Amino acid sequence: MNDQLRGLDRRSVLKWAGLGAAAVGGSSLLSACGGLKGSSSSSSDTLKIGLVSPQTGPLASFASSDGFVVQTIQSALQGGITSGGKKRSIEIVVKDSQSSPTRATEVTKELINSDQVDLVVSSGTPDTSNPVADQCEASGMPNVTTIVPWEAWFFGRGGKPGKEFTYSTMFFLGMQEFADCFFPMWERMDVSSKNVAALWPDDTDANAFREGLGPMMEKAGYTVVDGGKYQDGTTDYSSQISKFKRSGAELFTCTPIPPDFQTYWRQAAQQGYRPTLATVAKVMLFPSEAEALGKLSNNIATDVWWSPSYPNESSIDGTTGQQLADDFASKTGKQWTQALGSVYSLFEVAVEVFKKVSDPKDKNEVAAALHNLDYTGMSGQLNFAGGPQPGIAIQKPCGGQWRPGKKFPWDIFIVDNHANPNMPLTGDLQPTFS
């Protein structure tokens, strides 16, 4: 057991965890060593959902709103749901992957074998989502993941074109969506060359960009200036910066882990590499990252797949995206994050599927229903039967840029909606260093 938890009473532990009680419409108990744990009862009247996300470690920003989402879902479903012709309560069991693939596998096994959940949801890059999905697939456990490019999730797990995973599904973006988001912004910049500096490490996420987005860039007339594969945690980017400067690349893109980008971006500024427009993926998605870089965050562009300004509503209770963001700010004092909408939608998917099946305890029936689910909710329409590969639902992003905010230090403005014309613009595209 974590020494920090010794001697704390139940209320103190709940407050420390930031997640509140884990039961929705039923009783609960707390396992301080294993996260929040629902009732040990295996009653058919209770359906258990396991959540795995990187609540600590270098990817913790992806899970910063998870506690609020769990509490919100608890409140919305406190009366239970009707599934298989009877009223059932919902229990949520939360596990921390610690930003480690190994730990993600371990806690997923706990959810399946010890907690006996009925469905697993996960979020936060391939480091968590892929091992969670792999373990669920091996154990015959229905699961849905998000915030991982579908190519990194599908091909990164050995997927074969046209052949679905039996139990695994996901929703997010793919390389085509990143291209549809980034390329229009590049085209609007007054640059002297179409060289694009690319900071791509040697990991599942970045290699999907290298092998997928890279050829798309070349086909569109851009020249990829690849800084070369490097290991996560690198602290000196002088060689990459020197290469980018020599190439004259005025456009920049990347897919590192957040702490590495902050190190790189500071070093690039110090060494005089300031691209006309930076369009980044996997980083600068959350306010905490913009705050960490301060003025260097100004007009960095990224993909925006969820925003309070998007006209989406909860399929559970009709809550709008703006209401969800406002409630988050009111109760936590913090700024909304894109993961807020995505993690909320993970639970929407679970509820939608449970409502559709005749027996929510039948893992095969639940998995089949997941693969055929098509609904509209907090993340817009998610059609798991109509994606680029079976079991994959695609979202349409917009281009956003970080600028000083009014209520919070930094805010993200929607500056390009070529990929999703239905989404309203909230600002004009500007050069990164302007």
The three-class DSSP label of residue 426 is coil
Per-residue model confidence as pLDDT tens digits over 263-281: 999 999 999 999 999 999 9
**Cβ neighbours around 41 below 10 Å, total:** 13
CA neighbor of 49 nearest in space, from 154, 123, 128:
123
Domain ranges of the chain: 3-173+308-394, 176-304+398-416
Q: Chain-wide mean pLDDT for the chain?
A: 90
Per-residue model confidence as pLDDT tens digits over 28-40: 322 223 333 333 3
pLDDT reported for residue 22? 44
Per the CB < 8 A criterion, the answer to whether 234 and 393 are in contact is no
Per-residue model confidence as pLDDT tens digits over 151-204: 999 999 999 999 999 999 999 999 999 999 999 999 999 999 999 999 999 999
| Site of tokens 């695994």 | 168
- Residue scoring higher pLDDT (186 or 22): 186
**For the residues 217-223, what does the mean pLDDT come to?**
98
Backbone region of residue 330 per phi and psi (left: phi > 0; alpha: psi in -120 to 50; beta: other values)? alpha
Backbone region of residue 34 per phi and psi (left: phi > 0; alpha: psi in -120 to 50; beta: other values)? alpha
Which of these CATH numbers, 3.40.50.2300, 2.40.128.640, 3.90.180.10, 3.10.580.10, describes 176-304+398-416?
A: 3.40.50.2300
**For the residues 310-327, what does the mean pLDDT come to?**
96
Question: What is the percent of the chain with per-residue pLDDT over 70, rounded to a whole number?
Answer: 90
- Report d(CA 226, CA 308) in Å as an integer: 35
Per-residue model confidence as pLDDT tens digits over 224-234: 999 999 999 99
pLDDT reported for residue 288? 92
Residue 416 pairs in a beta bridge with: 399
pLDDT reported for residue 8? 28
pLDDT reported for residue 37? 35
**43: confidence class by pLDDT, cuts 50, 70, 90:** low
Question: What is the percent of the chain with per-residue pLDDT over 90, rounded to a whole number?
Answer: 88
pLDDT reported for residue 422? 86
pLDDT reported for residue 346? 98
- Report d(CA 386, CA 371) in Å as an integer: 9
Res 283 pLDDT > 80? yes
Measured in whole angstroms, the distance separating CA 36 from the mean position of its chain's CA atoms is 21
Q: What count of residues does the chain have? A: 434
Per-residue model confidence as pLDDT tens digits over 379-394: 999 999 999 999 999 9
- Burial zone of 109 (CB within 10 Å; 0-12 exposed, 13-18 middle, 19+ buried): middle
Per the CB < 8 A criterion, the answer to whether 401 and 307 are in contact is no
Query: Would 3-173+308-394 and 176-304+398-416 be classified into the same CATH topology?
Result: yes
CA neighbor of 11 nearest in space, from 27, 30, 35:
30
Res 26 pLDDT > 60? no
- Does the pTM exceed 0.95? no
CATH code for the domain defined by 3-173+308-394: 3.40.50.2300
pLDDT reported for residue 230? 97
Res 114 pLDDT > 90? yes
pLDDT reported for residue 306? 96
CA neighbor of 67 nearest in space, from 109, 36, 98:
36
- Report d(CA 172, CA 349) in Å as an integer: 13
pLDDT reported for residue 6? 29
Q: Which helix (DSSP H) or strand (DSSP E) does residue 365 occupy?
A: helix 363-371
**Cβ neighbours around 11 below 10 Å, total:** 9
pLDDT reported for residue 16? 28
